[in-house]
Amino acid sequence: MEKRSYIGIGLLGLGVVGSGVAKVLWKRADMFAEQLGLPLSLRKVLVRHPAKHRELEVEPRLLTTRFDDVLADPTVDIVIEVMGGESPAKDYIQQSLVRGKHVVTANKEVIAKHGPGLLALAREHCRELRYEASVGGGIPLIAPFQQDLAANRISAIHAIINGTTNYILTRMANEGMDFSAALRQAQELGYAEANPANDIEGTDAAYKLAILATLAFRSQVRPQDVFQEGISRLGARDFRYARELGYTIKLLAISKEKNGAVEARVHPVFIPSDSLLAQVGGVYNAVQVEGDLVGKVIFYGRGAGAEPTSSAIMADVLAISRNICCAGLAPAWLRSDRNKAIIPVADIETRFYLRMNVADSPGVLAQIARILGENQISISSVIQKENDRQAQTAEIVIMTHPARESAMQKALKEAAALEVVREIANFIRVEG
């Protein structure tokens, strides 16, 4: 183990994602130091305009406009590249590795086009190159392929990995909107860029698929190997027919291995509307992987945004840091002693569903409602039906607003004691 007092970070780019990363480094300093046994320290930040006003205050002495300042700083152990675009990002990653720095990048274009070469370079220099943030925002995807699914032979990937197009398709499907109206809405909400070609033509998804397929099939799949077709030619009618036939239209990124060869394609598809991927709405992403041991697994979450992307970048930074300072051993907090109290179930608040058999006579609901009210439980809806004429009983179903478990238990006891209540047939808590 090396003797050091911190792990130094160089940050390339201070845009939306870069600012997100800087903020997390600052906000979570204590938590990271506790996990690693020593702090992460931001040493240099490469920006284009140091004088620009930023919401996030970074110490001015850390800002530089020259990449060489980051490269030459011996205190920078890990370079985080969040500039985006192929050039000069690829060059900076390369130089960083050659100079013995570990690299974490969110750059899907660079990894899709040059991943294997850069990874070889990293190994040559005994450094790590990590890129969890390049696909699916904060959803763990790269690590699962590299580690958790490493014993499997993967046969197929089906992925919704572009939030912009999934948002547009969700609006078209749910509201019968046509493509251009849905695109306009997405732009107004900031889900689509002014020039949306990269998303709606499938290029962004093709980069991400190339990255995932290369990992899954352990053979280089380049962006130009991915057949690509966008969503602009979809009409409201297609959605209508899809629904009629039991399907939903999604832009899927699909890659499969068959007889030792790989297919890779991004295009709109009909998928059965009862499949889980069909339920993935709005800007959410989901990646379905089929492995021969694990069967079908799905990873779902927000595929973009400063915070989810920072989550992935920091996971990579922490993993490298653990390797630097404790040879990859599990983080210290796994020794978790009890340091937080357990909330007793009596103190938990949920909504409740109650089903009771009651006498079929007037005023019953009023008596029950009074008991609930006395216990600070308010009713959100009531169903009364299925009278059993012979037994002269009726069934009442009540949904409540959030209430304390202890209050509910007390109310149930009191209600059970009412002459008109034959049986508290069931009560079930409600989540979500």
Confirm or reject binding of residue 312 to its own copies (CB under 8 A).
yes
Smallest gap from Cβ 179 to its own copies, in A, equals: 12
Let me know: does 200 contact 267? Beta carbons within 8 Å. no
Instruction: Please return the burial class of 260, using the count of CB atoms within 10 Å of its CB with bins 0-12, 13-18 and 19+.
Output: exposed
Restricted to residues 318-337, the positions that interact with its own copies (CB under 8 A) are 318-319, 323, 327-331, 333-337
Restricted to residues 289-308, the positions that interact with its own copies (CB under 8 A) are 291-302, 305, 307-308
Q: How many CB atoms lie within 10 A of CB 264?
A: 23
Let me know: does 266 contact 209? Beta carbons within 8 Å. yes
Tokens standing for residue 287: 């990646």
- Binding letters toward its own copies, positions 349-368, x by CB under 8 A: -xx-x-x-------------
Restricted to residues 151-190, the positions that interact with its own copies (CB under 8 A) are 151-153, 158
Q: How far apart are CA 218 and CA 154, in angstroms?
A: 10
List, as one string, the DSSP characters of 284-308: EEEEEEEETTTEEEEEEEE--SHHH
Q: What values do phi and psi take at 159, rounded to 5?
A: -135, 140
Q: How far apart are CA 263 and CA 256, in angstroms?
A: 5
Restricted to residues 50-109, the positions that interact with its own copies (CB under 8 A) are none
When binding is defined by CB under 8 A, the residue of 169, 207, 268, 364 that contacts its own copies is: 268
Confirm or reject binding of residue 338 to its own copies (CB under 8 A).
yes
Restricted to residues 203-222, the positions that interact with its own copies (CB under 8 A) are 214-215, 217-221
Confirm or reject binding of residue 382 to its own copies (CB under 8 A).
no
Confirm or reject binding of residue 195 to its own copies (CB under 8 A).
no
Confirm or reject binding of residue 238 to its own copies (CB under 8 A).
yes
Q: Which of 108, 113, 208, 250 is catalytic?
A: 208
For its own copies, which stretch binds (CB under 8 A), given 71-79, 192-200, 409-417, 420-428?
A: 420-428
Confirm or reject binding of residue 16 to its own copies (CB under 8 A).
no
When binding is defined by CB under 8 A, the residue of 76, 106, 200, 264 that contacts its own copies is: 264
Long-range contacts of 118-121 (CB under 8 A, 24+ apart): 118/90, 118/93, 118/94, 121/94, 121/97
For its own copies, which stretch binds (CB under 8 A), given 48-56, 102-110, 133-141, 177-185?
A: 133-141
Tokens standing for residue 304: 């973009």
Restricted to residues 387-416, the positions that interact with its own copies (CB under 8 A) are 395, 397, 399
> For its own copies, which is the closer residue by CB, 64 or 243?
243
> For its own copies, which is the closer residue by CB, 63 or 205?
205
- Nearest C-alpha neighbor of 6 from the set 74, 69, 58: 74
* Strands in 19-95 per DSSP E: 40-46, 63-64, 78-81
Confirm or reject binding of residue 29 to its own copies (CB under 8 A).
no
CA dihedral of 135, 140, 145, 148, whole degrees rounded to 10:
180
Smallest gap from Cβ 51 to its own copies, in A, equals: 29
For its own copies, which stretch binds (CB under 8 A), given 9-17, 70-78, 124-132, 187-195?
A: 124-132
Size of the site for its own copies (CB under 8 A): 127
Residues 161, 164, 165, 169, CA torsion sign: positive
List, as one string, the DSSP characters of 236-285: HHHHHHHHHHTEEEEEEEEEEEETTEEEEEEEEEEEETTSTGGG--TTEE
Confirm or reject binding of residue 247 to its own copies (CB under 8 A).
yes
Let me know: does 288 contact 276? Beta carbons within 8 Å. yes
Task: List alpha helices for 159-255, DSSP H.
Answer: 163-175, 179-188, 197-200, 203-217, 236-245
Confirm or reject binding of residue 267 to its own copies (CB under 8 A).
yes
208 among known catalytic residues: yes
For its own copies, which stretch binds (CB under 8 A), given 7-15, 122-130, 164-172, 196-204?
A: 122-130
For its own copies, which stretch binds (CB under 8 A), given 60-68, 179-187, 265-273, 367-375?
A: 265-273
Confirm or reject binding of residue 1 to its own copies (CB under 8 A).
no
> For its own copies, which is the closer residue by CB, 6 or 353?
353
Tokens standing for residue 136: 């699916």
Confirm or reject binding of residue 39 to its own copies (CB under 8 A).
no
Active-site residue set: 208
